[in-house]
Structure 1
Amino acid sequence: MRLVIARCSVDYVGRLTAHLPMAPRLILMKADGSVSIHADDRAFKPLNWMNPPCTVRESANEDGTAIWTVTHGKSGEKLVLTIEEIQHDSSHELGVDPGLQKDGVEAHLQELLAEHITTLGEGYTLIRREFPTAIGPVDILCRDADGATVAVEIKRRGEIDGVEQLTRYLELLNRDPTLKPVRGVFAAQEIRPQARVLATDRGISCVTLDYDALRGIEPDTPRLF
């Protein structure tokens, strides 16, 4: 991981255009190829970012300012960073991350959904839980009724970061000729509207899970039949 604190401006060139004026910012360049630009607020959310795969080309203007051009390998979209001054530049080797340890409910949801995989649709079959990848395990890998590979990310509450996580898994899995094409399913007890919009835009299906139904518990609300 490379951490750069620099006075810079950022221009996004793609389906939309966006501009961040010159200011001190943190540039985070991760080993997975992602690049994100952060301010000293907004919690964990970057001001702008580029998901992998992408390349970074460093050049300079005639006035000596550095230009870093981050280009997405598939879409061709770009982040152009104009760097006036670098205040800090360091690289760190973090090694292989053991992955997020899910809480009891999420872990149990994964176990129950794997046991009742046809909750996702008739004809679904389980390949395995915790399918290993270079960036962490996929919660569930399965096949649909047509035999296509499906990667499932399970959350108790579905947020945008969960969709981003599944997107990274899908980009990696689709490089494997024995698995591709791989599509994604984002499954949670509750899915935020923004996460659902992002998932739909990326071709990821959303499934709302009923924890009690998966456990075989009848609802308290009486039914006629």
Structure 2
Amino acid sequence: MRLVVATCQVDYVGRLTAHLPMAPRLLLVKADGSVSVHADDRAYKPLNWMTPPCSLTEQAHPENPDHRLWIVENKAGEQLRITVSEVHHESHHELGVDPGLVKDGVEAHLQELLAEHIETLGPGYSLVRREYMTAIGPVDILGRDADGVTVAVEIKRRGEIDGVEQLTRYLELLNRDPLLAPVTGIFAAQVIKPQARTLATDRGIRCVTLDYDTLRGIESSDLRLF
């Protein structure tokens, strides 16, 4: 991992355009090739970013030789152009392979129950395996739909934007495997926040709300007429 604290300007050029004026920020370059730009607030969420696969090139700025220009480009030709006027700190760190997130009891149980009742996702669905390992961590459930298309399922107790981002990274990686592609995604949770649902829909990911008691075979206590 490479950490750079720098005064910089950031311009995103692609399907949309975005501009961050010159200011001190943290530039984070990960081993997977992703580049993200952070301010000293907003918790974990970056101001802008480029997910892998992408390339990073650094050069003198063509309009100002005292500045450096980072060009981060993905396969679609979209670019994150970072103009660096001053570097305040730079360091490199080898973090190694991360052991992955340890799920809480409810989340782990949801995964187990959904694997047992995979038809909850739709008629004709079948289980390939739980905890399907990839180079960036395990996919909660790998299955197939009624047409035999591979489906990656990410399970959360509370579905938020970071869970959608996590599933997006898995899908980008899985779709490079000719034995699995095409791979579609399902984001499953007991509660899915509206922002997460909107992002998932925009990325072609289906959202499924899970009822914990129904999966456990417990009759709902909600009052109903019939």
TM range (shorter): over 0.9
Verify: 1:33 aligned to 2:65, yes or no. no
Q: Given residue 104 of structure 2, which amino acid in structure 1 is its aligned partner?
A: D
Which residues of structure 1 form unaligned runs of 5+? none
Residue 108 of structure 1 is matched in structure 2 by: 109
Q: List aligned pairs for 1:171-182, cutoff 5 A.
A: 171-182=172-183
How far apart, in 1, do the equivalents of 2:144 and 2:50 lie?
A: 30
Residue 71 of structure 2 is matched in structure 1 by: 69
Shift of 1:221: 2.6
How far apart, in 1, do the equivalents of 2:107 and 2:65 lie?
A: 54
Q: Given residue 71 of structure 1, which amino acid in structure 2 is its aligned partner?
A: E
Residue 167 of structure 1 is matched in structure 2 by: 168
Q: List aligned pairs for 1:145-164, cutoff 5 A.
A: 145-164=146-165
Residue 22 of structure 1 is matched in structure 2 by: 22
Report runs of 4+ in structure 1 exceeding 6 Å deviation: none
SS at match of 1:172: helix
How far apart, in 2, do the equivalents of 1:222 and 1:56 lie?
A: 57
Shift of 1:63: 2.7
Bigger mean CA deviation after superposition, 180-189 or 214-223: 214-223
Shift of 1:16: 1.4
Q: Given residue 206 of structure 1, which amino acid in structure 2 is its aligned partner?
A: C
Residue 95 of structure 2 is matched in structure 1 by: 94
Shift of 1:15: 1.5
Q: What is the total number of aligned residue pairs between the two structures?
A: 224
Q: Let me know the Cα RMSD of the aligned residues.
A: 0.9
What TM-score, normalized to structure 2? Answer: 0.97
How far apart, in 1, do the equivalents of 2:224 and 2:88 lie?
A: 66
Residue 52 of structure 1 is matched in structure 2 by: 52
What TM-score, normalized to structure 1? Answer: 0.97
Deviations 1:34-64 (A, max 9, x none): 1100011111111111111111111112432
Shift of 1:209: 0.3
Q: Given residue 68 of structure 1, which amino acid in structure 2 is its aligned partner?
A: W
SS at match of 2:186: strand
| Percent of pairs with identical residues | 75
Residue 121 of structure 2 is matched in structure 1 by: 120
How far apart, in 1, do the equivalents of 2:46 and 2:189 lie?
A: 24
How far apart, in 2, do the equivalents of 1:219 and 1:19 lie?
A: 50
SS at match of 1:137: strand
How far apart, in 1, do the equivalents of 2:28 and 2:36 lie?
A: 5
Shift of 1:224: 4.5
Residue 4 of structure 2 is matched in structure 1 by: 4
Shift of 1:80: 0.5
